[in-house]
Chains A and B, each alone.
Chain A
Amino acid sequence: MSSILDKLLAIVRRDLLTAIRHRTGFVLTLAGVLAELAAFYYLSRAIGPSFRPNGVEYFPFLLVGTGLYTFFVMSAQAFLNAVQEAQQTGTLEVLMTTSTAPAELLILSAISAFAGSLVNLVIYLFAGVAVFRAAIHANLLSCVTVLVFSLVIALALGIMAATIQVAVQKGSAVIWLLGSGLWFLSGTMFPVQSLPRPLGFLARAIPFTYAIDAARGAFIQGQSVTAMAPTLAALALFGLLMLPLALGGLSLSLRRARQCGTLSLY
């Protein structure tokens, strides 16, 4: 266990040093967060206070929905970028010859990539509340519970993207799917109840819908864990299904890549 923690710390330190030394990128990310929040703030003002999806004000509704969805996309993207970069520089092959098992290494790298996205989410939510005065009534325990479940789903998603990247060098397909169809089905910007019935059913088959729903309940309405039990149960079920599937797929694709000599292809 201490060895795993030691490796995780080494990976986090590497990612942190790399991020800090990309000074411009760091500043631009912060500026981007503020610009996005400003756009949502004025959009909600233009729509007016009478529009209250699920009984809450529209700006906090957008803040939590887009914040969490961006967290999912950024996590998968950050992890995928790390894998792609490692393929391009040849680091991936060398990493696979260290004493650390390949799957363990990729999972730890994913956790580190997600830590960065989590910081981004916290900054996003904090700026929404502090700068744009979003009205929230958070229940801390519920918030932590939702975040833990969301992390498991994000981890599975990132590993799936990495699996596809290692297998057919097209992990960006997962990002494409997240950026195109899934965001509008998951109720990021409007309640899924507004969707036509067939699309509504589809929305209920996507884990993000439950994650965003639960996050809104926990952050904006201060709902307790018990009150959100059915949504949290659905999230847990998705996590239980997705994570082992993603891990199994990753193990297989890594072995296949070592068999075919395609580890460093990109």
Chain B
Amino acid sequence: MNKVVFESVRKVFRHRPALFNWVGRERTGETIALDGVSFTAASTEVVALLGPNGSGKTTALKLISTMLLPDGGSVRVGGFDSLRDSGKVRRQVGIAVATERSFFPRLSARENLVFFAALDEVPRRERMRRIEEVLCITGLEEQADTLVMKFSSGVYQRLGLARALIKRPSVLLLDEPTRSLDAAATSHLWTTIRGLADQDTTVFLATHNFAEAAALADRLLLLDHGVLLEDRMLSGHETAEDLRAIYFQRTGDHGAGAEDEAVPALHRAEATR
């Protein structure tokens, strides 16, 4: 069954001119972030969103999370429309955004998670157990009682994932989840993501990292300038080089649009399935 359905989704950001725009040179007009994009994603699927900067990857994730609402078309999660039933959609979706400064700095990691667990309506009697569980999954047990303002960006990123997992979402949205992680943490996260997908979670992974997409994804969505260039199932045997070739061939971009970093040598076949 399709867990997430994008149907001709259009998202436009309008730049309102400033009152005295002649003083500076602020951009006006509009940016088409997504232009009639359609795709579906099933339970247990890991979907990699690839594309250059500004291609619409983060916008797609934000639309699924209801952080943004579509201007045209529809986004449905678990059968619920993001415009009409945004509350029901939010109950199913967990998101870990790329800029992970979004915590209360004078609260510890555990206190932040307690706060978000309450807002995510995690039952009181289950809350502490669930928090220990996500701290363990993200390897944050030792930092659990440290004030968040003392964290490095990598630890922030892990805490962001812990927060996204706390309500046990059936759809998990990850925006560049390994950007600030070291090799060991990256490898651990990949194993976690595959494990979650095997437990019926649909995972969306916006990344610039071909090796990551090759190791984890069942499906590849390639976006450029808000247009879906490629929607293909992956067999599990594609390498980072294969994805890189598709990327450059379809986008026509031969610059440094995406990375193939020296990430942990964990091919998809080796990841826990």
Contact = CB atoms under 8 A, between A and B. Distances in A.
Contact of B119 (A7, A255, A258): A7
Nearest to B16: A260
Interface stretch (A92-100, A130-138, A154-162): A92-100
B66 A97 contact: yes
Of B13, B14, B66, B104, which is in contact with the most chain A CB atoms at under 10 Å from its CB? B104
A258 B121 CA distance: 22
Chain A contact residues: helix, strand, loop or mixed: helix
Given A14-B104, A18-B107, A101-B87, A90 B97 contact: yes
Interface string B170-196: 000000000000000000000000000
Contacts of A21: 106, 147
A93 B104 contact: no
A108 B174 CA distance: 28
A7 B123 CA distance: 11
A90 B101 contact: yes
A259 B118 contact: no
B103 A91 contact: yes
Contact of B67 (A6, A17, A97): A97
A7 B120 CA distance: 9
Contacts of B71: 259
B37 interface: no
Interface in B98-133: 99, 101-107, 111, 114-116, 118-121, 124
B91 interface: yes
Interface string A232-266: 00000000000000000000000100111101000
Contacts of B62: 93, 261
A263 B69 CA distance: 11
B111 A91 contact: no
Contact of B97 (A9, A11, A94): A94
Query: For chain B, which range describes its interface: under 10, 10 to 19, 20 to 34, or 35 or more residues?
Result: 35 or more
A104 to B, nearest CB: 9
A258 B114 contact: no
A97 B93 contact: yes
B95 interface: yes
Contacts of A17: 106-107, 111
Of A6, A11, A99, A263, which is in contact with the most chain B CB atoms at under 10 Å from its CB? A99
Contact of B104 (A7, A18, A97, A100): A18
Given A18-B104, A89-B102, A90-B101, A99 B90 contact: yes
B102 A94 contact: yes
Nearest to B88: A99
Given A9-B118, A101-B87, A259-B71, A93 B102 contact: yes
Interface string A68-106: 000000000000000000000111011111111100010
B66 A14 contact: no
B106 A10 contact: no
A91 B103 CA distance: 6
Interface in B55-94: 59, 62, 65-69, 71, 87, 90-91, 93
Nearest to A9: B118
A99 B67 contact: no
A215 B47 CA distance: 61
Of A6, A10, A97, A263, which is in contact with the most chain B CB atoms at under 10 Å from its CB? A97
A208 B55 CA distance: 51
Contact of A91 (B69, B104, B106): B104
Nearest to A95: B119
17 contacts: A6-B118, A7-B119, A21-B147, A22-B106, A93-B97, A94-B95, A94-B97, A94-B163, A98-B120, A100-B120, A100-B121, A101-B87, A105-B119, A255-B69, A258-B67, A259-B71, A261-B68
Interface of A: 3, 6-7, 9-11, 13-14, 17-18, 21-22, 89-91, 93-101, 105, 255, 258-261, 263
Interface of B: 11, 13-14, 59, 62, 65-69, 71, 87, 90-91, 93, 95, 97, 99, 101-107, 111, 114-116, 118-121, 124, 147, 163, 167
Given A17-B107, A261-B68, 14 more contacts: A17-B106, A21-B106, A22-B106, A90-B101, A94-B95, A94-B102, A95-B119, A96-B66, A97-B66, A97-B90, A97-B95, A99-B90, A99-B120, A261-B11
- Nearest 9 pairs between A and B by C-beta? A10-B118, A90-B102, A98-B119, A21-B106, A100-B119, A97-B65, A94-B102, A91-B102, A99-B121
